[in-house]
Structure 1
């Protein structure tokens, strides 16, 4: 690469070194425009004039000295040498790089501390020099989202008239849909771009797009903790999903609960590549900032908004790698920090809170700031972490929900969106709040029944009937939205996903008080419709995710429910086939892991099934717990029979299941069906 000459004044070596270091530091960041100083004169000329005045010459002499200095030519500037010995680098002097002791250290009679490993590596040194020169060329760069969603990268404007500094960031409630500018180190720009242009689509899925694409990105412009987490997720995803070398090294299989991702031990550096190193460095920074923030303030001062966003980002970092134990720990910590800070963790609703028109702009006073201003749609995101924690409790990988569910409010609350008035993002938030409360009702009822706790059956029945009524109202609203001819493909897909969740929660809530699960037999038609909706959703060519994980609830939970609660063999086996072939994980639900344990329920129940296909009460089971042996590729699953022994004691059974080879019950009952889930459901089953 050819050399370039830059003007430079001939001041002493130390001042030149300091100036060079400062220039390199500035060029390594993506900064907002830098404006000339208000005085209008260049800093170098002012410094020379001040030196002359301190020496005592007249003002005319000082002016001539300044003029002469400004007219001098400056010698060529080159990148600072980084390969000198450690002693010369500390003393800020030039090193001839002689080994084992350089000439300057020998002449000064001091010990030469040698050279760092990276400095003596020619390939690494050449790469560093290339990066330095590239940074000097792109000395100022912006991350300005364009309206059409493409990246914007421009250099700094030419110096002009003095301008006022940029305004401070707006308050949270006034943030626009995209941040104005974001300061990101030059080497981290690809990670941030990967996150905002690809990963937010995969992480948000069809039901959390607004949270990831707008709220998280806005927070990243003013919160360094969130920004570091975003960069960590981007760098990690680049390593796992977008790097051909890494993908090939791990067999091309994405990480999951059954295949946690790790770093090969053969690398002396401890990192798979530079992206992996960047991911860990950014993650450590984010965790450090977050820990200091929590420890440096009382529990009441920690913003629930910050807790929700940061906990979900940290969880995403672990979920992508399949580290379920770390995810469980993070969920438990986040829920403890949110205690008494969100409406879902408060007591019962006050009068007038049950039926609210979403178009009226209602906001609970508990979610307003001291000045009465809404806390930047905190109401729309407060359910995200609790819902994730609750749904994780159904997957047998997590236990953090056990302490949280008893503190949550299960009172039914209805806020219906208005077709043609309420935006799709608000509809998703309102549905998420309602869905979370319904899951709390189901989880608490199940907890009390399995532990034989005393229950207020009358209150639980009233809650159930109210939820069933509200679920029916939601059905009408969703169909009204879907009937809009101007509805886009993405919005239509979102509504289809919510309808799947609505039908699922309708079945589960309706049967929540039946401890023996006999009532599920009355919902075979609904199970059939649920499976039909899932298969139609899969047939619809939606966006193909590059990251095999999403926070959006969608297909895994309804399929798992069909396998475990529907006693129709054909429907069960079709659901098993679909679940086993899902190529991504949804929230805490890993389909390829769940299908292993759920297939054990089918095996146990169909051993006691009658010739007419009916499963009697004494042959019905639920999957209680499991121990996953990743090395042996085995699951030791414990199952609980819903009918206890004659003396009232529980009856359990254990199965050792192969993670990679499902056990089907078809041979045991003489079934010859293919159970192709994508065949028509018109024929009788």
Structure 2
């Protein structure tokens, strides 16, 4: 359903046609990643033929992606591929395609702002959501995390009465603010919360870690997965559940500081999430058994990622209320299964894209690196991440791995003679400081257990953003953890 203010059949010049064709013919699949959702494959291309603002955004993404592909991978600051530490900007243009990208993006922003100023009360929530996601995608793609962070927060504010996951302060869950019904809106409204929630687990979208409190993890807790007619619909339902579960895990970070009644509420929510994971297990297994007849590889990848994300949630929901991180030691078998599934996905899929908005195996592997204290398992996960060449939203594999490995290095140095890491030697990555162009990344780590007086214990490491820490060399481990040489995971020790 298009807004009444949208232009009919926006014109595409001959100079820009190849950007549109590139977006429609290739980028929609890359941005979708594993997902079988119709947002990129159908909704965005259709919207861009009706809405000038959406079209300018699509052309900007197409032109920027073209510019990135033509830029040398290892070169100067101005031409290397964009990242959180080396974002592209209007100050130095990489090539003519970068110039075209900036030109179209400025037009899209101007149209978007004019629409908000002219008809904020009449603007279509569906249209606002689509364009917001496109603008956020552009900023993430060019590595401008500060602008992406601001856009995400602004979009959440604009659409808070549309997003079912957003807390409706002062309103009971069943009496939320009314909103206009629009085609497809319910199938894509989870995309913005998911970007915000996953971004909050990185050091690059600083506002999103605090925005975790905006999401109502009890909203819509009854599962609606029965008789899903397609993988696409199942994917939407799973992503809604996945977003709530990941938000819940983030909200439990301060569990021990909460009043006792709130702690009991959170414990009840945890039990409910765990019960729902069992229901989802049955559903996903059922689809996987039927998946033997699937011919579309995207459907197979979608189910594989559901299995990976389900296994990750199973571990994290089980352990999220333990501030000492000790319970994770009881999940060695589950970590093995998770790692095996990630390896299987990587070997069968071999993604070739540079950037996707989907969440696939990167976040799951980083959980293994950070939370599994079996040395060979966590270091094999790190080895897999080293081979990942694509970015997932704000998740950059090399930067995220380096940050996690700082804590891993301190833990591995602290193993006792029995190979055990004591509770007062377990660390997690808490914060990062950096400036674009600087050759150092300052990472702060918090110890899982406070000191004797109850005060937090922090340590700071200065990391080289262009050189991943070599933990094994530091502790004298001679095992080759490269998965190219390890075909059987059952022998991990």
Give the TM-score normalised by structure 2. Answer: 0.91
Greater shift in the superposed pair: 517-526 or 181-190: 181-190
1:317 Cα shift? Answer: 1.2
The verdict on how the C-alpha distance between 1:458 and 1:492 changes in structure 2, with shifts beyond 3 A counting, is: same
Q: Secondary structure at the match of 1:625?
A: strand
Residue 432 of structure 1 corresponds to 239
1:553 is aligned to 2:373: no
Residue 566 of structure 1 corresponds to 372
Deviations 1:183-239 (A, max 9, x none): 322221111101100111111111164111111112112211111100111112122
1:377 is aligned to 2:184: yes
List aligned pairs for 1:97-496, cutoff 5 A: 171=1, 183-207=11-35, 209-241=37-69, 243=70, 254-262=81-89, 265=92, 271-298=93-120, 300-347=121-168, 369=180, 374-411=181-218, 413-418=221-226, 421-449=228-256, 452-454=257-259, 456-484=262-290, 485-488=292-295, 489-496=297-304
CA contact (8 A) 2:255 2:263 kept: no
Deviations 1:6-42 (A, max 9, x none): xxxxxxxxxxxxxxxxxxxxxxxxxxxxxxxxxxxxx
Where does structure 2 lack aligned partners over 5 or more consecutive residues? none
1:337 Cα shift? Answer: 1.5
1:395 Cα shift? Answer: 1.0
Where does structure 1 lack aligned partners over 5 or more consecutive residues? 1-170, 174-179, 266-270, 354-363
CA contact (8 A) 1:263 1:272 kept: no
Rounded to whole Å, the distance in 1 between the matches of 2:9 and 2:102 is 25
Rounded to whole Å, the distance in 1 between the matches of 2:166 and 2:212 is 9
1:486 Cα shift? Answer: 2.4
Q: Give the number of the structure whose alpha-carbon radius of gyration is greater.
A: 1
1:259 Cα shift? Answer: 3.3
The verdict on how the C-alpha distance between 1:631 and 1:542 changes in structure 2, with shifts beyond 3 A counting, is: closer
Residue 398 of structure 2 corresponds to 592
Rounded to whole Å, the distance in 2 between the matches of 1:185 and 1:308 is 26
1:581 Cα shift? Answer: 2.0
1:673 is aligned to 2:479: yes
Deviations 1:620-664 (A, max 9, x none): 111110112443421111111111111111111111112222333
The verdict on how the C-alpha distance between 1:416 and 1:677 changes in structure 2, with shifts beyond 3 A counting, is: farther
Residue 579 of structure 1 corresponds to 385
1:261 Cα shift? Answer: 3.1
1:425 Cα shift? Answer: 1.2
Rounded to whole Å, the distance in 1 between the matches of 2:177 and 2:371 is 39
Rounded to whole Å, the distance in 2 between the matches of 1:194 and 1:534 is 30
Q: Secondary structure at the match of 2:452?
A: coil
Residue 682 of structure 1 corresponds to 490
Q: Secondary structure at the match of 2:428?
A: strand
1:525 is aligned to 2:333: yes
1:642 is aligned to 2:469: no
Deviations 1:556-613 (A, max 9, x none): 1011111111111111111111112210011221111011110111111122221222
Rounded to whole Å, the distance in 2 between the matches of 1:543 and 1:571 is 23
Deviations 1:374-405 (A, max 9, x none): 42121111111111111111111112224432
* Aligned residue pairs, count: 481
Rounded to whole Å, the distance in 2 between the matches of 1:303 and 1:172 is 7
Residue 627 of structure 1 corresponds to 433
Give the TM-score normalised by structure 1. Answer: 0.66
Residue 309 of structure 2 corresponds to 501
1:445 Cα shift? Answer: 1.1
1:316 Cα shift? Answer: 1.4
Rounded to whole Å, the distance in 1 between the matches of 2:66 and 2:143 is 16
Specify which structure has the bigger relative contact order, considering alpha-carbon pairs within 8 angstroms and separated by 6 or more residues: 2
Rounded to whole Å, the distance in 2 between the matches of 1:651 and 1:526 is 30
